[in-house]
Structure 1
Amino acid sequence: MSELAAKVNDARGRISRAVWDTVAELGIEATTVRAVADRADCTTGLIMHRFGSRSAMLVHARQMLFERTSARADSVAEARATSAAERLFAIACTALPLDDERIVEARIWTGFAAASIADADLRELHVHNTRQWLARITNLVAGLDSDVTDADATEYAQQIIAVVEGAAVLAVLDDTMYPPARQKRLLHQTITDVVNRIGSDRL
């Protein structure tokens, strides 16, 4: 890699980190081009050259969130699990705000969900990414038993995701009432219910 290419990559990485950190600290509404430029120690012109618009900058941050959470789920998927139910539980847990890093991600996810209502570009990406997550969980549910129909697998996956994302939002707003242990219990109970209804091996 040439020195120029290395500098370009370094600048892109610095700007991406600045976008992420600004969204995490200030929220979606306060994440302006100026705020990101100040954090990245560069001009607003460089930010606009990189993204073209504030909306595109936020889309970039939303995609970063999806890539981070997907990578975590992938790492868990590669680990050994004694049963399909345990694998499902472990991967679903990766979306819960159980530590400081995931609490930040949950705050960002919640902010993007709200912002997506009025921003068509954000909404399109948000829906696309959440449906990819649904597809992953649906495949895991289908792996619980060969007799599970596609329709049932999708519905069970939607039930699991509703609990995960609901718990994540509630934990962001009220971590005293929804601490990590309670989040995991709620998810465990939900997956146990799904397993029992399917008639698969217990979690």
Structure 2
Amino acid sequence: MSRKAFRRLTLDERKRTLLEAALTCVAQEGLKGATVRRIAEEAGVTAGLVRHYFGSKNGLITSAYAYLIGQLTAEADTRARQFTGGANDQLRHFLIANMTMPNLSEEKVSLWATFIGRVRYDTDFADIHREGYRDYLTLLESLIEPVLAAHDLPRSSAECRRHAIALNGLIDGLWMEGSLNSGLYSRAILPDLIIEAGERLLNLPAGSLSGGKQHT
């Protein structure tokens, strides 16, 4: 394995580069194989920077998990907020973002599965999971409420929370199976599937989110 050249980076760039390198190494070699030295080589920095910024390998790995969760949420949120045509458009593009690249990724779902196994016995991972899940539900609620309002449907806080929990479960299931790409179906059908299922779950008229368009 060739050693990457060391680079001079800013503080934020160094931390981000180490986080990205940690994710790459965990994806390629697992948690045990992702040593501090290996991660530093992948990042093109000195091993001492890991201890400087994160204290230990465990500190870096837990931060990398939080970074991964944040990436997935931010990508979908950014895609949704780019569209100002209305609440239906924003929710539609949020759903599509979870069913397309870069979020729809075998590497990302494999990383998620690797990290999620530690949630049961590692309090740091459990805290990250809980906070990430809470933030995702809050974001979903903020997208769901105006859609329900536009269709004059019940939209209390409790109602929006129930819908967000259910829709998140739907997203997770299609995201995991779609990312693993078992070959039983084409990934291209996922955007339309999530939109159609989302309409049914929210009790919206057929075509409300799709606008009559297919996204395959």
Which secondary structure does the structure 1 equivalent of 2:184 belong to? Answer: coil
2:130 — aligned with what? Answer: 127
Aligned-partner Cα distance in 2 for 1:7–1:75: 26
Distance 1:77 1:185 in 2: 16
Partner of 1:73, secondary structure, is helix
Residues 76 and 14 from structure 1, CA distance in 2 versus in 1: closer, same or farther, beyond 3 angstroms?
closer
Maintained 8 Å contact 1:34/1:44: yes
Tell me the equivalent position of 2:101: 99
Q: How far off is 1:57 after superposition?
A: 0.7
Cα 1:28–1:167 change in 2 (3 A) is: farther
Measured after TM superposition, the shift of residue 180 of structure 1 is 2.4
Quote the offset at 1:83 in angstroms: 4.2
User: Partner of 1:48 in structure 2?
Assistant: 51
What do residues 140-171 of structure 1 show as CA deviations (whole Å, max 9, x unaligned)?
A: 11112233121121111111111111112223
The structural deviation recorded for 1:139 is: 1.7
Structure 1 position 76 matched with structure 2 position 79: yes
Q: Kindly report which structure 2 residues correspond to 1:163-182, keeping only aligned pairs within 5 A, or say none.
A: 163-177=170-184, 179-182=186-189
Which of 199, 202, 205 is matched with 1:192 structurally?
199
TM score, norm. by length of structure 2: 0.76
The CA deviation at 1:43 is 4.7
Residue 202 of structure 1: aligned partner? 208
> Any stretches of 5+ residues in structure 1 without a counterpart?
1-5
Backbone CA RMSD of aligned residues:
2.7
Q: Which amino acid aligns with 2:52?
A: H
Distance 1:163 1:27, change over 3 A: farther
Counterpart for residue 3 of structure 1: none
Q: Deviations over 1:164-201 (max 9, x none)?
A: 11112223334423542232233112211034x26698
Q: Residues 64-119 of structure 1, C-alpha deviation per residue, up to 9 Å, x if partnerless? A: 223322332332233225442332121123233x2366403333222222232232
What percentage of aligned pairs have identical amino acids? Answer: 20
Aligned twin of 1:152: 159
Counterparts of 2:42 and 2:147 in 1: how far apart (Å)?
47
Alignment CA distance shift 1:186-1:118 (3 Å):
farther
Q: Return closer, same or farther for 1:145/1:201 CA change in 2, 3 Å cut-off.
A: farther
Q: Distance in 2 between matches of 1:201 and 1:40?
A: 46
- Name the CA shift for 1:80/1:11 in 2 (closer, same or farther; >3 Å): closer
How far is the alpha carbon of 1:61 from its aligned partner?
Answer: 0.8
CA deviations 1:18-45 (Å, max 9, x no partner) are: 2132123234453232321332345544
Determine which structure has the larger helix proportion and give its number: 1
| Alignment check: 8 A CA contact 1:148 1:198 kept | no
Number of aligned pairs? 196
CA distance in 2, matches of 1:28, 1:141: 37
| 8 Å contact from structure 2 (residues 199, 205) kept in 1 | no
